[in-house]
Amino acid sequence: MVRCDSHTGKTKADFEKQFHVSPFNPLAMRYHWVSSNPGEHLLVHMENHGLPVAATADGEQDLVCHMDATLSLKRHDWSANLLTRLLWLQPWAAVKVPFAIYWQAARLFFKGAPVYSHQTLNPLHTDTSVELKTTGEKS
């Protein structure tokens, strides 16, 4: 459930990045999301900011915006017939989307964009192990 302010009709979320999504974005980032109250229309705006290295002269922290995206949706009734029709109208969507993601990643890589390795926030201790057993196997 999205809880929106009764005066503005919007909700705001501000949180630090805690997961690795793209090798072209470091883990030290902060998300700023704004969403309208779901209804006939839904608007979601997301900004991804790099955490500041140091504060400015006046003590403010100047965040660098790495990504800015807005999604605008309009409510439609769903039915099995509509979903089937959409699948037949766009049969290559399941292939097109991953291809487009990897195509853009290749372009960034060849342009020399920095690549950040996957970082784990809460790594397992080295002495932790998990033993998997099949059904019926005795301990």
**Domain total of the chain:** 1
> pTM of the entire structure?
0.62
Residue at 121 is within a domain: no
Whether 1 is covered by a domain: the verdict is: no
In-domain check, residue 69: yes
- pLDDT < 70: residue spans in the chain: 1-2, 53-62, 119-139
In order of 42, 46, 78, 93, 108, the CA distances from 75 in angstroms are 8, 20, 9, 21, 35
d(Cα 29, Cα 46) in Å, to the nearest integer? 13
> Which pLDDT score, from 0 to 100, does residue 76 have?
86
Residue-number span of the structural domain to which 75 is assigned: 10-110
Q: What is the CA radius of gyration of the chain?
A: 22
Q: Do the Cβ atoms of 38 and 73 come closer than 8 Å?
A: no
Q: Does residue 59 lie within any of the structural domains? A: yes
Q: What angle do CA 80, 81, 85 make, to 5 degrees?
A: 120
Report how far apart the first and last C-alpha atoms of the chain are (Å, whole number): 44
Specify whether the CB–CB gap between 4 and 10 falls below 8 A.
yes
